Amino acid sequence: MRHNSAMRTLTMASLGILGWPLVALLPTNAGAQDMPPPVAAMIAPLAAEATVLDALQLGDGMIIAVGDRGHILRSTDEGASWQQSPAPVSILLTTIDAAADGTLLAAGHDAVILRSTDEGASWEIVHREPEWEQPILDLHMISATHGFAIGAYGLYLETDDGGMSWTERSIYDGDSHLYASARLRDGSLLIAGEFGTLLRSEDEGATWAELDSPYGGTFFGLTVPPADEGAEQPTLVYGLQGHVFASTDYGASWAAVDTGVENGLYNAIWSDGTAPILLGHGGLILIDRDTGPGFDWQSVIRPARKPLAGGLKLDDGRYLIYGETGLTILDLDSAS
């Protein structure tokens, strides 16, 4: 069963109340009848200043970013300059990930998944179902061949051939929006989503179990400290109205974390392996200045006060931040 009528009821008014990531759920099509073929993205001189929803570091200064109108941007100098790659679609792209062999997958509206084998220089469509009106919101490649995509109304797609083909699966009884996924430090996988949904897999995604949730609202993201550094730090899930919860037992239990803010929180960066930085609505950057197991949050607001979708730590210690106003490099260690 698809949810076309419900998708069309989402309005811009609801975004102001519930949080900016619902932009990614707004339908781009008037209906499922006689859907036209995909339209290639236009090459836009100011694409790096348009909405960017995800970015991925490939090493040696290479970064790939995706966002509005099918924009796919490549940088070979750690974000100092950007070049737009041709893309076969012009819809909103929400997520990008890399398989173990370097194959890139990007996805977004129309349940579209794009695949690249040349570091993002060119892309092909490997999955597209616009009549579903279920955007993909996250991709997670587990290995060179196996991975999954998650999205609106419990959408779950799986690949076993490196992203060349995708099969839809039902992994739990609900139909909440699934926003984010990550591998925990014990090797298990965790998915977070709407209505406090938390799903965990201990067998590489073959089966999923729903966890007891500390919160009935929406989780937009989760973050796991780097395995080589953040031994004392917990896994964090975060979402609406500044809500953050921490787990030190791989999701079995959660403790509330006081952030002192009510902004929606959408993504996270680890500053040095021990201190998280959360990014969110209204240009909020929430920096943990406590390098121990506790939290001491400092709020920094970007002047434009536009939503921030995420960020990356660069090799020179600065941060690439992205969101509604495109891509910006900041020095957050000295921010005040």
Whichever domain contains 106, its CATH number is 2.130.10.10
Q: Would 10 be classed as within a structural domain?
A: yes
> Does 261 reside within a domain?
yes
Position 28 confidence tier, pLDDT thresholds 50, 70, 90: low
Q: What is the pLDDT of residue 226?
A: 84
* Spatial distance between the Cα atoms of 41 and 137, rounded to a whole number of angstroms: 19
The band of 292, judged by pLDDT with boundaries at 50, 70 and 90, is confident
Is residue 91 assigned to a domain? Answer: no
Over range 146-173, report the average pLDDT. Answer: 98
Q: Does residue 29 lie in a domain region?
A: no
pLDDT band at 274 (very low <50, low <70, confident <90, very high): confident
| Both tokens assigned to 129 | 């179902």
Nearest C-alpha neighbor of 241 from the set 209, 263, 259: 263
Structurally, the chain folds into a number of domains equal to 1
Residue 20 lies in a domain: no
Q: Say how far apart CA 256 and CA 314 lie, in whole Å.
A: 30
Per the domain annotation, does 55 fall within a domain?
no
Question: What integer pLDDT is reported at residue 36 of this predicted model?
Answer: 81
Task: State mean pLDDT over 190-208.
Answer: 98
Residue 79 inside a domain? The answer is no
In a domain? residue 35:
no
Decide: pTM greater than 0.75: yes
Domain that holds residue 286: 4-15+99-330
Residues with Cβ within 8 Å of 17's Cβ and at least 6 positions away in sequence, in order, are none
Quote the distance between the C-alpha of residue 278 and its chain's center.
13
Contact 330, 318 (CB under 8 A): yes
Each residue's pLDDT tens digit, 312-334:
999 999 999 999 999 999 998 76
